């Protein structure tokens, strides 16, 4: 089967976790990659180790996103946008949820994704074989107690993905959603639990083999590496121990 041959990707959320693993995997597969996140020091290390280009940007800030577009344009352009930046803040029920947590989640997951897509759509359309991959979550498919803020943000990202596929079909844009379940990354649960390492540890406690960032990166690289006419609309990926959002086997 002929593989995708143009291979210029922009990957957000690249300073750690799933995004970092995705940069490593795409570089190993021969892609040109611009790695994006806010923490420049971590990106520089990743760039040295992988040969990716690093660009520090906050995807919720217009000036940062505009500067990123200039940088990408000056460095070979792109055919593939991989939106991984995002995350969760808090595990409160709606009765006690904190507005600032919801604000953060909407900005990082929804508004940031919208800004990145808007900024790069002209280049992706002009390319003619563009791809946008949005990293959502199984939290964007089924709601759960204590998840409402994150559910709402990820449901929104899921909806954006579906609308974009419809809106851009005439521009030959391929639009992929990857929705993982439990993934054990260094910072995700820690950030969600407000820096409480004990609470973060409990999220994965007794789970035999949660997914890793590298597992998800494998799936992302497969989806964007396929010939362009093949669109994996939505890929749900869970560890075997997680039969459903509400059914997580802990030993
Ligand atoms: N871990 C899981 O269980 C899981 C499961 C399903 C889906 N997901 C989703 O997968 C994605 C990655 O998860 P992860 O576990 O790798 O999370 P993570 O370790 O917390 O990484 C989040 C990444 O997003 C970046 N980021 C956050 N806000 C940003 C902003 N405003 N501008 C630019 N970059 C920003 C962070 O970099 P800086 O801090 O350096 O900016 C970091 O690189 C998220 O969208 C998450 O919701 C995670």
Is 144 annotated in the active site? Answer: no
Ligand 1 centre and the CA of 12: distance in Å?
8
- The whole-angstrom separation of Cα 89 and Cα 188 is 9
Q: Whose CA is closest to atom 45 on ligand 1? A: 86
Confidence of residue 5 (pLDDT cuts 50, 70, 90): low
Question: Minimal CA–CA distance to 227: which of 79, 41, 20, 58?
Answer: 79
- The whole-angstrom separation of Cα 57 and Cα 60 is 9
Q: What is the pLDDT of residues 143-172, one digit of tens each?
A: 999 999 999 999 999 999 999 999 999 999
Mean pLDDT (the chain) is 97
191: number of Cβ within 10 Å: 16
User: Is there a contact between 224 and 82 (Cβ–Cβ < 8 Å)?
Assistant: yes
* Ligand 1 contact, 140 CB (< 6 A): no
Strands of 8-12's sheet in order across: 53-56, 32-37, 8-12, 80-83, 131-135, 174-180, 234-237
Q: Which one of 144, 150, 204, 222 is the catalytic residue?
A: 150
Mean pLDDT to the nearest integer, 187-194: 97
* Ligand 1 contact, 130 CB (< 6 A): no
Question: Minimal CA–CA distance to 191: which of 101, 106, 61?
Answer: 101
Q: What is the pLDDT of residues 37-53, one digit of tens each?
A: 999 999 999 999 999 99
> Of all atoms in ligand 1, which is nearest to the CA of residue 185?
15
Ligand 1 centre and the CA of 19: distance in Å?
7
Confidence of residue 2 (pLDDT cuts 50, 70, 90): very low
DSSP 84-147: ----------GGG--HHHHHHHIIIIIIHHHHHHHHHHHHHHHHSS-EEEEE--GGGTS--TT-
> Of all atoms in ligand 1, which is nearest to the CA of residue 64?
32
Q: Return the best residue to mutate from 38, 52, 87 for the ligand 1 pocket (most ligand atoms within 8 A of CB).
A: 87
- The whole-angstrom separation of Cα 36 and Cα 215 is 20
Cβ-Cβ contacts under 8 Å for 48 (sequence gap 6 or more):
none
Ligand 1 centre and the CA of 2: distance in Å?
32
Q: What is the pLDDT of residues 44-94, one digit of tens each?
A: 999 999 999 999 999 999 999 999 999 999 999 999 999 999 999 999 999
Local structure of 195: helix, strand or coil: coil
- The whole-angstrom separation of Cα 185 and Cα 14 is 13
Q: Return the best residue to mutate from 86, 187, 248 for the ligand 1 pocket (most ligand atoms within 8 A of CB).
A: 86
Ligand 1 centre and the CA of 1: distance in Å?
33
* Ligand 1 contact, 212 CB (< 6 A): no
Question: What Cα–Cα distance (Å) separates residue 178 from each residue in 67, 86, 220?
Answer: 27, 13, 7
pLDDT at residue 144, rounded to an integer = 96
């Amino acid at each position: 089967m002929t593989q995708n041959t143009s291979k210029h990707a922009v990957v957000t959320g690249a300073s750690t976790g799933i995004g970092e693993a995705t940069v490593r995997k795409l570089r190993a597969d021969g892609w040109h990659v611009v790695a994006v996140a806010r923490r420049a020091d971590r990106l520089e290390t990743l760039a040295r180790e992988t040969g990716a280009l690093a660009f520090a940007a906050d995807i919720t800030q217009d000036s940062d996103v505009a500067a990123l577009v200039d940088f990408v344009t000056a460095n070979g352009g792109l055919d593939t946008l991989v939106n991984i930046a995002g995350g969760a803040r808090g595990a409160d029920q709606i009765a006690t949820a904190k507005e600032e947590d919801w604000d953060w989640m909407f900005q990082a997951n929804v508004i940031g994704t919208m800004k990145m897509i808007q900024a790069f759509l002209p280049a992706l359309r002009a390319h003619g074989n563009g791809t946008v991959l949005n990293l959502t979550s199984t939290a964007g498919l089924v709601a759960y107690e204590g998840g409402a803020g994150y559910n709402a943000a990820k449901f929104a990202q899921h909806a954006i993905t579906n609308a974009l596929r419809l809106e851009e079909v005439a521009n030959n844009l391929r639009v992929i959603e990857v929705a993982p379940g439990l993934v054990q990354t260094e910072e995700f649960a820690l950030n969600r639990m407000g820096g409480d390492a004990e609470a973060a540890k409990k999220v994965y406690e007794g789970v035999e083999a949660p997914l890793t960032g590298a597992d998800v990166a494998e799936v992302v690289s497969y989806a964007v590496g396929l010939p362009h006419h093949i669109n994996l609309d939505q890929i749900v990926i869970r560890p075997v121990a997680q039969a459903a959002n509400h059914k997580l086997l802990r030993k």
